Amino acid sequence: MVDVDKVLDEAGLTNPHVREYVKEWAAITTPDRIEVVSAADDARLIQESLDAGEIEPAGEGLYYSRSYYKDTARSEERTIVATNKPSDKGAYNNWRPADEMKPIMLERMKGASAGKTMYVVPYLMAPPGSPLEAYAAGVELTDHRTVVLHMIRMARVGIDLIDNLADPDSFVRAVHVTGDLPNLGQGTPEDERYFVTVADERTILHYGSSYGGNALLGKIAHGLRQASYDGWASGKFLAEQFMLLGITDKQTGKKYHICGGFPSASGKTNLAMTLAPDALGDRYYVEFYGDDIAWLWVGEDGKLYGMNPENGVFGVAKDTNELTNPTALDSIQPGTQALFTNVAYNEKTHEVWWEGKTKNPPADLDGWRDWKGSLIAERTPEDQNEPWAHPNSRFTTALSNVPNVASDYDDPKGVPIDGIIFGGRTRDREPLIRAIDDIAEGVYDGLTLGAEATFAAEGVEGQLRYDPMSMRPFMSYAEGAYAAHWLKIIGQATEKPVFAHVNWFQRDAEDGHFLWPGYRENLRPLLWLMQYKNGEVTGRKTPVGVLPTEEELDLSGLDLPQEDLDRILTIDVERWRQEMGFREEHLKQFDGLPEEIWEAHRRVAKALEDEA
C-alpha cells in the first residue's frame, strides 16, 4: 500500500478535498506508486517514457507513440452520460442512471492499476483568471504515462492551479484506468470498456483505453461533456466543439472573431490554423485561438465572449502538408516537444510519415513500420494498399508552438464573438456558405447539422447523420433543454453574432472531386460573411439563408471551373425540400424542443415550398 499522505506532502499538494479524492481512488485501483505531476516534470517523464520504450524519438525534441491497434479512436457506443435525473436523458447522450453505472465502474477499476503508477494530474481548462475558472479545475488520475505527456501538452497542468481554488472542493474528479488493452473485447458483445461522465456529480470514470479522445479527460470529457452540463446547470455558459479564430482587417483596423463547430475530423483544426491571408494581398491577418473547444458566455458588458479552454492542439495528421497546412507543420518542427500517435515510423531514421504528408510514401522502405508496428517491407501483396498511418493518427503540440497563435490567446477576458458557423462533410446540398441573421434560425441550423461521420469515431465512417452543433458525441443533457439554453445565452447578448453554415466538401457527382479548393482558401467565404454582417455586401437571399454572389466573393488568384462555382453558390431546391422531411423526423426525437425552433423549421420549409 502506498503511503498517500507522504506522497502528497512531499509534492506539496495541500487541498484537503483533492487529498481525500486521491486517497479514495488509490484504495480502489491499488497502484504500486503514486506521483503528482506538473508541467515542469515533462522532460523527466519524456526521458522515462523513452527509457521504458513507451515512446520513440522522432527527431530532435519530437516523439512517436503507438496506441494499441484496437484503440485508435473515440468509442461513441461505449460512452455514457450518467446522472441522477432521468430527465437528463437525451436522444444522443446514452444516458444511464448514476446508480447503475457507478458500481459497474468501481468493479472494473478495482485493483486495475496494480503494478502501475497512478499519476495525479491537476489541470485547469481555462486561462487562469477566467470568469469561468470555477468550472475549469480538475484532477485526472491516470495509470498511463503517455496520457500524462498528452495532458501536459493539451491542458494547463500544475499543483498551483488547484491548490488555491476559491472553492477548494470545486474540481472535476477525473479517473482514468487503462485496463488490460489486449483483453477488453473491443468492438465485440463482451466489450469491457466504459467511458462515463457522471455529470451531476462532476465525476468522470473512463476505463479501457489509452487513446487521446478517450483518455485525455481534461479535453473531451471535462472540456465538452462536463462543461456543457455545468454551463447549462449554472445557466452561465455554453461549451461547444468549436474552433475559434481572429481576422484583422489592417485597412479598417477592425478585428473579427469567428467560432464554429464541424464534427470531429471535418476541418476545425485546419480552418483555425491555416487560412491564407497572403493570397489576398496584404490586407488581413489571421490568428489562431483554438481548434476543438470553445466556451462561450455573455460578459458584464452584454457582449458574447469566447475562449479556448485548451492549451494545445490534438490534430489529425492525414493530409497535413506544405500546401494544405504549413502552419501545422511549423508547429510540429524539431524542438517543439510534439508527440505523434499512430502515424508510420522509421525505426532507423526516426522519421514519421502519414498519408498526404508527401504525394507518395518514402521510396526506400528500409526501417519503416506502419501504425500497427508491422514492417512495410514485409507486407504481403494483399496488404500493399493498406494505409501506412491510421486515418485517425494525430499530432499533439502546445498552443505556444503555433506560429500564428493570437497574442491574447490566454487572456482570461476571452474575445468578443462576431460569427458562429456550422459545417461538416456534406457531399451535396450544402452550398459553400449561407449566412443566417435570425438567432432562432441559426440555432435551428446548428441543431440540424447533417454530415458524414468520420474515422475519429470507431465504426461510423461515411455514415450520413445529424450531429447537432457537432456535439452529438459530447451531448450531456437533453437536446430540448440544450436548444433552450442556446437561445437563452445568445438571446442575452446585446450584440448578436451572425450565423452561417459552411461546406468545404461538396463533390462532383461524377468523378467525386471537391468542388471548392478548401484549406487555406476558406478565408474567402469568412471574409464575405463579415462583410455581410457589416452591410457591405447584400448577397442573394434564398429560403435557407443568404448566399454570396460570384462578384461579392473574393476569388482573385483562384482558377475554378465555372460549373463548380455555380454549384457551390446555388441551392438545389428539390433536394432541400426533401431534406426538410428528414429534419422534421430528427427534431421530433427531442422532447421539449422550444417552439422558436419549430417556428424556424416551419419558416424555412414554407420558404422552400414557395420557391419557384
Q: Is 472 annotated as a binding residue?
A: no
- Catalytic hit among 113, 209, 228, 266: 266
- Dihedral sign for Cα atoms in the order 84, 86, 88, 91: positive
Q: Establish if 389 lies at the interface with ligand PGA (CB under 6 A).
A: no
Burial class (CB in 10 A: 0-12, 13-18, 19+), 546: buried
DSSP 403: T
Based on CB atoms, which residue is closest to ligand GDP, 13 or 456?
456
Strands 498-502 and 419-423, bridge-based pairing: parallel
Based on CB atoms, which residue is closest to ligand PGA, 314 or 422?
314
Cell match 461549451: residue?
239
Residue 72: which of Mn ion, ligand PGA, ligand GDP, none does it interact with, CB under 5 to 8 A by kind? none
Q: Establish if 264 lies at the interface with ligand GDP (CB under 6 A).
A: yes
Closest to 77 in 3D by CA, of 189, 226, 225: 189
Instruction: With H, G, I as helix, E, B as strand and everything else as coil, classify residue 227.
Output: helix
69, 285, 514, 598: residue in contact with ligand GDP (rule CB under 6 A): 514
Burial 403-413 (b: 16+ CB within 10 A, else e): ebbbeebbeee
Contact call for residues 111 and 30 (beta carbons, < 8 A): yes
71, 292, 479, 596: residue in contact with Mn ion (rule CB under 5 A): 292
Residue 211: which of ligand GDP, Mn ion, ligand PGA, none does it interact with, CB under 5 to 8 A by kind? none
Question: Which residues make beta-bridge pairs with 498?
Answer: 419
Contact call for residues 178 and 118 (beta carbons, < 8 A): no
Residue 213: which of ligand PGA, Mn ion, ligand GDP, none does it interact with, CB under 5 to 8 A by kind? ligand PGA
Q: Establish if 475 lies at the interface with ligand PGA (CB under 6 A).
A: no
Q: Establish if 327 lies at the interface with ligand GDP (CB under 6 A).
A: no
Angle at 561 between CA 560 and CA 565, to 5 degrees: 75
Nearest-CB residue for ligand PGA:
264
DSSP 222: I
CB of 394 to ligand PGA, least distance (A): 8
266 is catalytic: yes
> Residues near 281 by Cβ (< 8 Å), separated by ≥ 6?
none
Based on CB atoms, which residue is closest to ligand PGA, 131 or 315?
315
Cell match 468522470: residue?
204
91, 456, 489, 500: residue in contact with ligand PGA (rule CB under 6 A): 456
Q: Establish if 146 lies at the interface with ligand PGA (CB under 6 A).
A: no
CB of 496 to ligand GDP, least distance (A): 26
Residue 451: which of ligand GDP, Mn ion, ligand PGA, none does it interact with, CB under 5 to 8 A by kind? none
Contact call for residues 67 and 458 (beta carbons, < 8 A): no
List, by residue number, the catalytic residues. 266
> Given the rule CB under 5 A, which residues bind Mn ion?
264, 268-269, 291-292
Residues near ligand PGA (CB under 6 A): 74, 213, 264-265, 268-269, 292, 314, 316, 456
The binding site for ligand GDP (CB under 6 A) comprises: 262, 264-270, 291, 315-316, 318-319, 324, 504, 514, 518-519, 522
